[in-house]
Amino acid sequence: MTTINGIKRLRFALLLGALAAMGPLTIDMYLPSFPTIVASFDTTASFVQVSLTACLLGIGIGQLILGPMSDVHGRKKPLLIALIVYFIASALCAFSPSIGFFIAARFMQGFAASAGIVISRAIVRDVYSGSALTKFFALLMLINNLAPILAPVLGGGILAFTDWTGVFAVLSAIGFLLFAIVLWRLEESLPEEMRVPSNLSDTIKNFVSLLKNREFMGYALAQGFIMAGIFAYVAGTPFVYQNIYGVSPQTFSLLFGMNGLGLIMGTQTVGRLTGVLSERRFLEIGLTMSISSGTLLLLAVLFNGPLITIVIPIFFFVASIGVIATSSFSLAMESQGHIAGSASALLGLLPFVLGAITAPLVGIAGEETAVPMGAIIFSSALIAVLSYIWLARDKKIAV
């Protein structure tokens, strides 16, 4: 597939953005339902947060498997199979008879959703490189970042008409619709002569070489730990906002969706100013934003500040992701074209594995304190900054 321009480029970005948005939709759309799911299964908040952990693990492990698979079999075939599995898994979530079954179905749903994330990124690398890669990825992130805005709002709207099972019925329908679009509209971007052999040892060698690449891992760990903080926010705010501060599911959805505007601002700043500032400079700006806002949030929760002192730092912390994700992805992927699927998989794996660890920890002290959430977000930002400085930072920074 040659470089795509014009109106075809926009359609291409819309489709890839929709596929990449499967992750945020799968994670975020059911968040307003957390308290009602607790009541429905007669369980605890921690068990419902485990369902988020299961989904995050599924997304992380799925990328590790489906990314390299797309290097071997091409991008389209694995993507179609995963979308069918997603359709089935979402339906199983809706009809779960117990919290245990629901958790297992959420893992399956996350595993299938990972294909949209990892393969869409690999397709971008198939088609673009250099500054064109950064600019197109910024456009892709703009579309993708609409999902965190729309998902909880849509989830809250569904709850106004039906119960939480309706959320998963809608997700099932989205999976089927994307299957049909990919089947009829998406061209294969990886020609057969560019595919790697189906060899487990070679796949392992690819991952080992990436793990040994200090610069690549510096970008990957910086992004991964920041995203771990985001997943702590995702798991914690449904209870912090609704149980501690008494907001309604609809107000929670609006507050949550508002942060998506921050994501868009961060992403588009990178996309529009690429060429004026380097990707490395943008990454450092984003990391500075994250540690500053994480510090303010930790102070707010330690001193039981009002809601506004929680909302504002979280907004800027989430906004920093738009800057960090776009710049770190471009920097990490630039030299990995021959194993783009594996590189994309590892970049995708780390955030969800680390997020699977942090998500259940936010509820460790119960549903009536925000301190664990604040501490985890601050710690994640700090470790991200240290990972970048130790592994990837050059002594001279291009401007």
CA-based radius of gyration for the chain: 20
Domain count, the chain: 1
Separation between Cα atoms, residue 223 and residue 350, nearest integer Å = 8
Q: Which two tokens stand for residue 370?
A: 């925000």
Separation between Cα atoms, residue 224 and residue 386, nearest integer Å = 12
Predicted pLDDT of residue 1: 46
Q: How far is CA 215 from CA 50, 55, 68, 348, in A?
A: 33, 29, 21, 16
Residues 227/351, Cβ–Cβ less than 8 Å: yes
Separation between Cα atoms, residue 325 and residue 276, nearest integer Å = 18
Residue 396 lies in a domain: no
Q: Which two tokens stand for residue 90?
A: 């979402």
Separation between Cα atoms, residue 134 and residue 40, nearest integer Å = 45
**Which CATH number covers residue 57?**
1.20.1250.20
Predicted pLDDT of residue 2: 47
Q: How far is CA 174 from CA 31, 62, 223, 379, in A?
A: 18, 19, 28, 36
Span 137-148, pLDDT tens digits = 777 777 766 776
The owner of tokens 């080992």 is 208
Q: Where in the sequence is the domain holding 372, given as residue range(s)?
A: 10-189+196-391
Q: Which two tokens stand for residue 52?
A: 């988020």
Residue 75 lies in a domain: yes
Residue 3 lies in a domain: no
Give, for all 399 residues of the chain, the pLDDT tens digit.
445 566 777 788 889 988 988 988 998 888 888 888 988 998 887 788 889 889 988 998 898 889 888 888 889 999 999 999 999 999 999 999 999 999 999 999 999 999 998 899 888 878 877 677 777 777 777 776 677 667 777 887 888 888 899 999 999 999 999 999 999 988 888 888 777 776 777 778 888 888 888 889 999 999 999 989 988 888 888 888 888 888 887 788 788 878 878 888 887 788 778 778 888 889 999 999 999 999 999 999 999 999 999 999 999 999 998 899 888 888 887 766 667 677 877 887 888 788 888 877 887 766 678 899 999 999 999 999 999 999 987 644 433
Residue 374 lies in a domain: yes
The three state secondary structure string of 107-119 is: HHHHHHHHHHHHH
Residue 398 lies in a domain: no
| Spatial CA neighbour of 111 closest among 272, 352, 321, 306 | 352
Q: Which two tokens stand for residue 291?
A: 């540690």
Predicted pLDDT of residue 373: 92
Separation between Cα atoms, residue 215 and residue 221, nearest integer Å = 10
Residue 1 lies in a domain: no
Residue 106 lies in a domain: yes
Residue 29 lies in a domain: yes
pTM more than 0.75? no
| Spatial CA neighbour of 77 closest among 3, 186, 153, 211 | 186
